Amino acid sequence: MYKSLLEKINSKNAKIGVIGQGYVGLPLSCQLAKQGFSVAGFEVDESKVKMINSGKSYIGDVSSKDLKELVDTKKLSADTNFKNLSHMDVLIICVPTPLRKSKDPDVSCVLEAAKNVRKTLKKGQLIILESTTYPGTTEELVLPVLEETGLVVGKDFFLAFSPERIDPANKKFGIKNTPKVVGGMCAKCAGLALAVYSSFTEVYKVSSTQAAEMVKLLENTFRAVNIALVNEVALMCDKLNLNVWEIIDAASTKPFGFMPFYPGPGIGGHCIPLDPHYLSWKLKTVNFYSRFIDLAGDLNAKMPGYVVSKLQDALNARSKALKNAKILILGVAYKKDVSDGRESPAIDVINILIEKMANVFYYDAHVPVVKNCVYSKILSSLSNLNNLNKFDAVVVVTDHSDVDYKKVLKDAKVIVDTRNVFKNVKSSKIVRI
């Protein structure tokens, strides 16, 4: 079975099913289809399936032109019928893994996907989990579900883990030029997964699925901890009346031993705010407490409050109270030039402002509606920036490229700049973090 499946993969005759067609699954489906595989995207959201099958992309990193071409040539299709998983040779699981309110991992989507695979699992299939999760998930959660069929891993079917490394809106590194890491339940499992991914990028094989799962958590914990460090440096510089951005730029001239990270209003997105908690949770199950990770999380979580305090100080200096002030939040997506608002620090800033009884508005052409604010308040984006002088202050939270910052500088009364978009501008109306 191993040799037969390997030959199918290497000859591009393997049928590949990708479970989950979000910001990870759809780009992966398209890339595999471009390599010549016949790809089926499985998705519970019927609206997404209809859009894919009509060649319309809802993911920024996938153009509708490319998607339509793949659909028209019958290299890619989408399906809500999970019974058709049985027709696939390779199944790749790319479903969300959020955190519960208690900061514990929520792997319910992974478990549901595994159960769907179990219902149709057949001999000779390769299953790969890409969803970010804690070390041990593939072996301790997914494998037992699949083995309920009586089939044996490494003999009857194959199981591996390969962490997704998607960075939305990254113009330099995409799915094709970002190496993949793979770990298998056995050497054959890893070899088959390596064959799939090496069809379009470099692959680095590690010793186990646990090792591959840990790789992803290290990558994002590294970022979270270093962002926390530079956020604390920003607080230090504020106390010392220094410009943290100037300090970072100067330190970055050192050609070795330093890597620049930048402060901000907090951290957002699906990975960086969540992944360290996955690792911390797993470590607690073996009586190890990750003080570094917990401290970094605490520091990053306090940044939205710091931003509001800087805003409040700026208004007080102008004899204006924050209560009843009209505040415009500029950008609510979690990062520049994306439409994803998950875990965005902008939401925390908005929540704090609402709690302090400010009148909050926002502008973000990428995110038309913001939900889950305090008291279940729902906000809609302003359609333009024509009346900035009507606001008491503007807070730049996300530095989208499509914003006319010259207009913002000209018309706004007070600007709290959390992203250094006004780097070389000297103005009494600008407050930097």
Q: How far is CA 41 from CA 20, 85, 140, in A?
A: 7, 10, 26
Backbone torsions φ then ψ of 168, nearest 5 degrees: -50, 135
User: Which one, of 199, 204, 162, lies nearest residue 179 by Cα?
Assistant: 204
Cα 182–183–186 angle (5° rounding)? 135
Instruction: Give the separation between CA 298 and CA 306, rounded to whole angstroms.
Output: 13
Backbone torsions φ then ψ of 77, nearest 5 degrees: -145, 165
Can 30 be counted among the known catalytic residues? no
Beta bridge partners of 415: 394, 430
Alpha helices by DSSP H, 12-98: 25-34, 46-53, 64-72
Whether 343 and 334 have beta carbons less than 8 Å apart is answered as: yes
- Look up residue 198 and give its two tokens: 């090496």
- Look up residue 335 and give its two tokens: 């990062």
Active-site residue, selected from the candidate residues 94, 109, 189, 271: 271
The H or E element spanning position 126 is strand 126-129
Whether 308 and 407 have beta carbons less than 8 Å apart is answered as: no
- Look up residue 44 and give its two tokens: 């519970």
Alpha helices by DSSP H, 54-95: 64-72
How far does CA 67 lie from the centroid of its chain?
22
Residue 154 CB-half CA count within 13 A: 7
Instruction: Give the separation between CA 39 and CA 77, rounded to whole angstroms.
Output: 7
Instruction: Give the separation between CA 143 and CA 431, rounded to whole angstroms.
Output: 53
User: Burial of 306 by CB count in 10 Å (0-12 exposed, 13-18 middle, 19+ buried)?
Assistant: buried
* CA torsion through residues 327, 328, 332, 336, sign: negative
- Look up residue 310 and give its two tokens: 């800087």
The H or E element spanning position 190 is helix 187-197
Enumerate the active-site residues.
271
